[in-house]
Amino acid sequence: MAHTEHPAPVLLEQALASFSEQWSPRIVTTVNDYDVRVAKVEGEHLWHVHENTDEFFLVLTGELRIGLREPAGERTVVLPRGAVFTVPRGTEHKPYARVPTEILLFEPTGTLTVGDRHEEVPEHVDATTGHALG
């Protein structure tokens, strides 16, 4: 997303209302070399790893769960509305939501939603580096 001379504020509510696809993030702005993305999620994503970057999650509405495969074993973190969580680089993880949920993500521009290593991508998951707002 190119920076303009006169950037305009982005209302997250409007950004989220502009699309309906699940697991298909939209880039709302950039900060240095990072994208700020919003996504609508429900159901399961997939197990994947970002080898070289942490991944930041903020839950705007609903509730997000993230399965983590760590050296000590597997666990799940539960993120209610308003919670933030960072998945450390190199940690295999699988986000899922039991109810319709809206999230904000912060990650380096060009980061694939399915990471560097992942299981087979199901049809309902968009393997993307983020889409521009429509």
The per-residue DSSP string of the chain comes to -PPPSS-----HHHHHHT---BT--EEEEEETTEEEEEEEEEEE---EE-SS--EEEEEEESEEEEEEEETTEEEEEEEETT-EEEEPTT-EEEEEEEEEEEEEEEEETT--TT-SEESPPPTTS---S-EE--
Task: Write down the pLDDT at residue 11.
Answer: 95
Average pLDDT over residues 56-74: 97
Q: For the whole model, what pTM was predicted?
A: 0.90
How much is the mean pLDDT over the chain?
91
Per-residue confidence (pLDDT) for residue 119, from 0 to 100: 78
